[in-house]
Every structure is written in structure tokens, then in C-alpha cells.
Amino acid sequence: MSPGVITMEFRVLKYFLATARTENITAAAKEMNISQPALSRQLMDLENELGVTLLIRSKRSTTLTEAGYLLKRRAEEITELMEKTVSEVSNARSGVSGSIRIGCGETAGMRAVARAVHEIRQDYPYIRCHLYSTDDSGVKERLDKGMLDFGLLVQPEPPKNYPYLEIDHEDTWGVLMRKDSPLSGLDRISAEDLYGLPLIVSRQAFANKELEDWFSRDIREFDIVATYTLIYNAALMAEEGVGYVLCLDRLLTLPPDGALTFRPLSPQNTSRIFFIWKRHQIFSRAASLLIEKLRHDRNAVKPDTKEWI
């Protein structure tokens, strides 16, 4: 069938997602409050309409084909965007409520945004905030697709293609390690100190080459045994002696009697924090309140920050 005449219904996409999630048509039918034969027929009609097989059916389970995985990913994006749109339209009718969606990497600079959310909720208690933790590329992708209102980027330089406010905060790079590690006796850690040791590196920093200049040699010469997205999981690796974690400061609370300690890099290496949004974006009332709160908070945003580039 020609793609130009496909009339896929939102309801059917939700049926498909339920089936993909439960891996069982009977369970999906129960979840969606529809009979099993009716759900099977809807899924078969969807496959016929698209001209591909989406599901591999067996007596006990249902698994996705390659085309099924692709549709699942896109259907999740469509569903999320639809729910966001419905929420915004409903809020316009009922007053200031609804959701603000923010994508963010791990940074202590998130405190400035958290304070702003707390303050606007004092006057508008029905506003909700949804956080999506991912790296910078994931933030930009979701923002470009309209799935986020804002993003929080952690990087050395301002973003090139997004309006932004610069949060008045800098993150400092350092090494998270066991207290009984040989390097724990140093006040600061140099690249030479790390040479030959097992390193656990932020996936984003590795991909964006954020630490390449600091290392002053090809990072591939170092023994990188693991990469991570979430610092908590990397900290568990450090506790178990897998390696030394290159990370930003103040992401973890390190108790005095804990197993880990943090030391900054030498020479010092820092990253800046940018609160971004999509150019020409139309904000919901709730999102507008948040950005206005940050704009006027001298303790949150640098006074010389640029908003349009």
C-alpha cells in the first residue's frame, strides 16, 4: 500500500505499544480493555496497512520484528507528543496547570532549575515537572522532535543552534575513587597520574571529546575499561574496584564513612551549564512561567547571558 494513503489511528498505535510492552496479546488486550480477538484483528489490519510484519506470534509470547522495533520507537515518540499536546490544550482551557518537560544531563546546576520549579508551584500548585535524564545528544534530539520544552546542557562552550540562558554554575571535572586507592592521597589528579590505570569515563565526555585537551595525548592511549551515562552506576563500579571514574563534582553525596572520595583534576577543567529551548518555540503557560522565573533570578542565571543566537 502506498504510504500516502496510510490512515493509522492513534488508538491502534496504543494497542501495538501495549502488545510490544507485555509481549503477549492476551495481556495487552486485558490492559487495553478490549477482547483478544478484536486486538489481534486490529494488529493484523495494521500490518496489512503498512505492508510489513510487525510481530512474531507464538502460543506463549509475541516478539517484535525489525520493522516492529522501528514502529515501537516512533509510536512512543508520537504518543508522548500527543499526550504533551493534549495537556497543553487542556491547560489553556482550565488555567495554569499541566506539565513542563525538561531533558537534562547530570549536573549540580539543576538546582537552579529545581528552585525555580518550586517557586512557581507555590502560586500554581497544579503544575507538574517531568525530567528525562540523558546525555546532550539525547536532549537535543527530543527537543527537536517537540517532546521536551527545555533542555539542560553540560558543555564547555555555548550551544550553536539553540536560544539559551546560561546557569550561574560551573561543574568541575575530577576523579571518583576508593579511599584506599593510591591516588587518594593526592590533592589533585593529573593526566600522568592516570596513565596506565583503569578508567571509567562519561560516555558523553568521551563522544564529545570534552577531556581530550586536558589529557594532552590521544585518549585511546589510556586504559578506558568502561563508559557510563549515570554516575550512580559508575560509582558502584568504582566501589567494586573496577576503575577510577572521571566525573563532575557534586553529583553524589559522599558520606565521611563511605568508601569513595573525589579529587579535582589538575589543571582544572570545568563545564558550563546552558538552559536551552527550540528556536521559535511556542510555550505553554506553565513553560512560560518557568523561563520567566529563571530570566529574572539573578542567583540562577549569569547577568550577561545571551538568549538568542
DSSP H or E segment with residue 10? helix 10-22
Burial, 287: exposed, middle or buried (Cβ in 10 Å; 0-12, 13-18, 19+)? Answer: buried
Residue owning grid cell 505553554: 284
pLDDT at 267: 95
Does pLDDT of 116 surpass 90? yes
Express each pLDDT in 273-284 by its tens digit. Answer: 999 999 988 898
Q: What is this structure's pTM?
A: 0.71
C-alpha cell at 15: 494497542
Nearest to 191 by CA among 271, 265, 248, 260: 265
pLDDT at 144: 93
Residues contacting residue 123 through CB under 8 Å, at least 6 positions apart: none
**Mean pLDDT on 224-253:** 95
Task: Tell me the CA distances in angstroms from 177 to 107, 139, 214, 216, one per residue in order.
Answer: 19, 29, 19, 22
Q: Assign 55 a pLDDT band (cuts: 50, 70, 90).
A: very high
**Mean pLDDT on 256-260:** 95
If one compares 309 and 26, the residue with the highest pLDDT of the two is 26
Does pLDDT of 205 surpass 90? no
Does pLDDT of 187 surpass 80? yes
Express each pLDDT in 75-96 by its tens digit. Answer: 888 887 787 777 666 655 555 6
